[in-house]
Amino acid sequence: MPTSLDLPKNARVLVICHKQLGDMTLLEPTLHKLSTAAGRPVELLTRSGHAPLISLMEGVKMAGRAWLRRFDAIFCYDDLDKSAVHAMLASAPRKDLLLRAPGEVTKWNRRAFDEIRAPGINDAYLARYNWDYTIVESRVPWRPPILRQPPETWRPAGCQPDDFVLLNSTAGWKSKRWKSSSWAEVAKALLDAGGPRIVVTSGGQNWQREHSKKIADALGERALYLGGSTRLEEFLWLASRARMVIGVDGAASHLSAAFGGKNLTLFFRTNPHNWHFPTEKSVALLARPGEDADEENPEYELDDFEVAEAAVALLRG
C-alpha cells in the first residue's frame, strides 16, 4: 500500500467522477475520508443530475465548475476524457487518478494527472478499493457508505408513507435482468407471508418499463406501479423508507444499504465481491447463466423458491 500523504490545513480539494448513481454512492466513504483530511467539505464535479444524492452526503458539495480555479489537490475516479480536461484546466500541485484496471489509462489521463494508480480491483469491494488507494493522511477508519435520510418533501405524489417493499427489477444493463414472472412469484411469496404491499420501480427505457409493468400487473392491487416515472429525489425517498429493497445489482441496493435498510440483491454478470458489502441486512444471491442464454436472450438460472425463501427470511429477520 502506498504511503499516506498529508493535505494542507483547510485544503481546497476537488474530486472528479462522472460515473453512475451506484458508483457515486460507493464513493461516499472516500469523499468522507478526503473531507476529514482536508478539514472542510470537498467539491465534487459530477453529473448535474446527481445533485440530490450528493446533498445527502456529509462533507461534500457540488462544484459548479473547475476551469481556471486553484485547488490544493485534485482526485479523479474515472477515465473519461472530459474529466481529464477538467483536471488539466484547473490548477493544483497534486493531481491523482485512481482507476480499476491498468488497461483503462488513456493518453489524456497521462497528460492530466501527476500520479496514476490502477493496481486492479480483482475481488475487492469498490468502496473499499477507492478508500484504500486514495492516499491521504486521515484519522477516520474505513466504514461502508452512509447517506442522510431524504426529506419528506421528496415523497412521490400519490405514494402514502406507509409500510412497503421496494422492487426495482432492472438496472442499466439489459443482461442483468431476471424473468418478470420469477420476480412476480417472489413478490407474491412476500405478500402471502404477511409482507406489506410492493412498490415496483424501474428505469425509464422502454424495455425497463415493460419488464417492471409485467410484474406489477401480475400482483394487481397489491402493487403500486411507478416504473420509469420517479425523479431521483423520489427514488431516494423510496429506497430510504422501504422496509426492504429487492432487485438486481444496481443503485437501489447500494442506496438501501447506505440508508441502513434491508436489501436482497441478485447478481448476474457482475462480481458480487466488487459490488456488495455483506451484512445481516444486506444479502446477495448469485445467478448462473442458463443453457440458452446469449446477448439477445440473457436469461439466468436462479430458483424462484430459493430467492423467495431468502426474501421472506430477510423481511422477517
Mean pLDDT score, 198-216:
94
Q: Which CATH class is domain 13-132?
A: alpha beta
* Fold adopted by 154-316: Rossmann fold (3.40.50)
Report pLDDT digits (tens) over 217-237: 999 999 999 999 999 999 999
Q: Which of 4, 78, 72 is nearest to 45 (CA)?
A: 78
81 contacts 105 by C-beta, under 8 angstroms: no
- Tell me the C-alpha to C-alpha distance, in Å, between residue 60 and each of 11, 73, 180, 253: 13, 15, 38, 22
Q: What is the pTM of this model?
A: 0.94
**Alpha carbon 42 to its chain's center:** 20
Q: pLDDT tens digits for 2-15?
A: 445 789 999 999 99
Q: Tens digit of pLDDT for each residue in 41-96? A: 999 999 999 999 999 999 999 998 899 999 999 999 999 999 999 999 999 999 99
Q: Where exactly are the structural domains of the chain?
A: 13-132, 154-316
- The pLDDT of residue 296 is above 70: no
- For 98-132, the pLDDT digits (tens) are 999 999 999 999 999 999 999 999 999 999 999 99
Query: For residue range 237-279, what is the model confidence (pLDDT) as tens digits?
Result: 999 999 999 999 999 999 999 999 999 999 988 899 999 999 9
State the average pLDDT for the chain.
93
